[in-house]
Structure 1
Amino acid sequence: MVAAALLFAAGLLLTPLSLAALLPRLPRRPNYAGRPTPTAAGLAFLPIILVTLLLSPAPAWAPAYLLLCGVVGFADDAMGGEEARGFAGHLRALLRGRVTGGQVKVLGIGGGALVVGAVLYGASASALAAAFLLAGSAHLANLLDVRPGRAVKFLGVFVPALSLGAGGGVLAGVAGVLGGVMTLFYFDLRGRIMLGDAGAAVWGAAVGCLVVASGPGWVWWAFGAAVLGLTLVAEFYSVSGIIREVGALRRFDEWGRG
């Protein structure tokens, strides 16, 4: 727990410094309101992830997976501007011979999750379940990251309870990112930056690591069902539209937004 606390504090300090250095170089894209906004701000997580991977006693699989998600997410940000949406859209693009950022994410983040699952559980059903939770959580954050602060809010409410069940080792592996998310949350919420896939994938993967660290059980089943259900819903309906129609969700979503 001491290592987790130190890395959390390091994330609080290092991430805003990284963002300040990156900000002039980040690409700008129109946000949901059409205002040009720096995107791929999640690149600011990479220094604290590297510190965790190289210097901390945390199990290497957690920060290594976060690093992979950040790199693959940034590749998607860099490709940008694609018309394909959802799994069906990316599959249709593939059948037409067109490579999309979404396909890169599925291969990179999904493939990395399978490796982590095999490292943790060998050739077993638990390995496949762990891989689904890791990749699915990263995907869920990307689904939510279409309005300022939404992905951090809706996944963040689960982090305190998940942290208690994760154990000190894996918690230390993601603590730097948790601290970093806290420092970027205000700027994301106020629409001054966009996390981009580089940030949302890392944030979602960090939550997924905490879920996986709880071990096979009801948390896996509940979180997995939520990921699967929301992914299927998003293929046919607008997640933003659903949130807008449900009063409690709408108020929570809009809280603090500039």
Structure 2
Amino acid sequence: MTGRTPRITSFVRAAALTGAAVAVLRATAPGGRARWERTNHAGRPVGLYAGPAVALAAAVGAGRVLPGAVPAVVAAGVCGAYDDVAGAGDGRRGLRAHLAALRDGEVTSGAVKLIGVCAAGLLTGGALKERPVDKVLAGVVVAGAAHAVNLVDVRPGRAAAAVLALAAPGLLREGPGAPAAAVAMGAAAAVLPGDLRERVMIGDMGAHALGALLGAAVVAGNGRAGLVAHAAAVVAAAVYGDKVGGSAHARYHSCE
């Protein structure tokens, strides 16, 4: 088996599972159509099937190629799903607003998501790295990547396209992170056409799950220097996104 074969297989499996999951959810609509179909920011009907589908494919794919990433992918997806539902009417935008509310004793959906994703990131960092400093850096990368992908989810197809672009360098490198990057790319590629046509959206659930897997792929494929560089990048993205991205993200996710 050549070095490229596991990547191709991981990509194809993830894309196929994502497509199948979207089709099953669309056909069955557990809990009723009203739970899965919304009117988006532009007044067009859109389905929420893609979020659970990509989260499922990311978790299953991670279990095959990078088991240590599974807790972060699952936790990020669950926390994102909670924010998709509970955060719909929350007027607070950005990390600072949610942290300020938490300091005042109010637990917002964004705070739940932040705490859950960070904890899962640290757990994954502990599973993938041996030294304490590397474990912490890895946790920052995983949680930060989940947040970063969600930040760019402000237009149809933007988050899925970002995953494809960000995962491509990891896919080209030899190492344990490459198959995980392929899983993220396969899931993102499967939903991108429908996302661009505004037929489905991945929501916080899908964006966070894909981002967490992407971060885990980075962690698996990098040593201390790479972890420091990627941790700095995701922290900078979080700070910048907190200043300029919250309103755009909120408008895009304002489905009825």
- Aligning the two structures, in what range does the TM-score lie when normalised by the shorter sequence? 0.7 to 0.9
Show the 5 A alignment for 1:168-179. 169-173=176-180, 175-179=182-186
Q: C-alpha separation between the residues in 2 aligned to 1:238 and 1:112?
A: 24
Shift in Å, 1:44: 0.5
Deviations 1:122-141 (A, max 9, x none): 45211111110100000001
- Residues 146 and 32 (structure 1), Cα distance of their counterparts in 2 relative to 1, 3 Å cut: farther
Task: Answer yes or no: is 1:74 the counterpart of 2:81.
Answer: yes
Query: Contact 1:166–1:213 (CA<8 Å) still a contact in 2?
Result: no
Paired position in structure 2 for 1:14: 17
Query: Contact 2:58–2:210 (CA<8 Å) still a contact in 1?
Result: no
Query: Contact 1:39–1:195 (CA<8 Å) still a contact in 2?
Result: yes
- Which blocks of at least 5 consecutive residues in structure 2 are unaligned? 249-256
Paired position in structure 1 for 2:190: 183
Calculate the TM-score normalised by the size of structure 1: 0.80
- Residues 210 and 240 (structure 1), Cα distance of their counterparts in 2 relative to 1, 3 Å cut: farther
Q: C-alpha separation between the residues in 2 aligned to 1:97 and 1:65?
A: 26
Show the 5 A alignment for 1:109-124. 109-122=117-130, 124=132
- Please identify runs of 4+ aligned residues in structure 1 that moved more than 6 A: none
Shift in Å, 1:50: 5.0
Which of these residues, 154, 159, 164, is aligned with residue 156 of structure 1? 164
Which of these residues, 130, 139, 144, is aligned with residue 138 of structure 2? 130
Identical counterparts, % of pairs: 32
Letter of the structure 1 residue corresponding to residue 54 of structure 2: F
**What secondary structure is seen at the aligned counterpart in 1 of 2:173?**
helix
Show the 5 A alignment for 1:1-258. 1=3, 2-23=5-26, 24=29, 25=33, 26-39=35-48, 41-49=50-58, 51-52=60-61, 56=64, 58-81=65-88, 82-122=90-130, 124-165=132-173, 167=175, 169-173=176-180, 175-238=182-245
Paired position in structure 1 for 2:253: none
- Residues 50 and 231 (structure 1), Cα distance of their counterparts in 2 relative to 1, 3 Å cut: closer
**What secondary structure is seen at the aligned counterpart in 2 of 1:158?**
helix
Deviations 1:83-125 (A, max 9, x none): 1111111123324443322112112110011112122334521
Q: How many residues align?
A: 238
Q: C-alpha separation between the residues in 2 aligned to 1:218 and 1:122?
A: 15
Q: C-alpha separation between the residues in 2 aligned to 1:93 and 1:166?
A: 44
- Residues 47 and 122 (structure 1), Cα distance of their counterparts in 2 relative to 1, 3 Å cut: same
Q: C-alpha separation between the residues in 2 aligned to 1:213 and 1:148?
A: 30
Q: C-alpha separation between the residues in 1 aligned to 2:242 and 2:59?
A: 35
Shift in Å, 1:174: 5.0
Query: Contact 1:68–1:109 (CA<8 Å) still a contact in 2?
Result: yes
Paired position in structure 2 for 1:256: none
Q: C-alpha separation between the residues in 2 aligned to 1:192 and 1:87?
A: 29
Calculate the TM-score normalised by the size of structure 2: 0.81
**What secondary structure is seen at the aligned counterpart in 1 of 2:199?**
coil
Shift in Å, 1:36: 4.4
Shift in Å, 1:228: 1.7
Query: Contact 1:84–1:90 (CA<8 Å) still a contact in 2?
Result: yes
- Residues 237 and 105 (structure 1), Cα distance of their counterparts in 2 relative to 1, 3 Å cut: same
- Residues 50 and 205 (structure 1), Cα distance of their counterparts in 2 relative to 1, 3 Å cut: closer
Query: Contact 2:59–2:73 (CA<8 Å) still a contact in 1?
Result: no
Query: Contact 2:51–2:202 (CA<8 Å) still a contact in 1?
Result: yes
- Which blocks of at least 5 consecutive residues in structure 1 are unaligned? 242-258
Shift in Å, 1:5: 2.5
Shift in Å, 1:189: 1.5
- Residues 19 and 95 (structure 1), Cα distance of their counterparts in 2 relative to 1, 3 Å cut: same
Paired position in structure 1 for 2:254: none
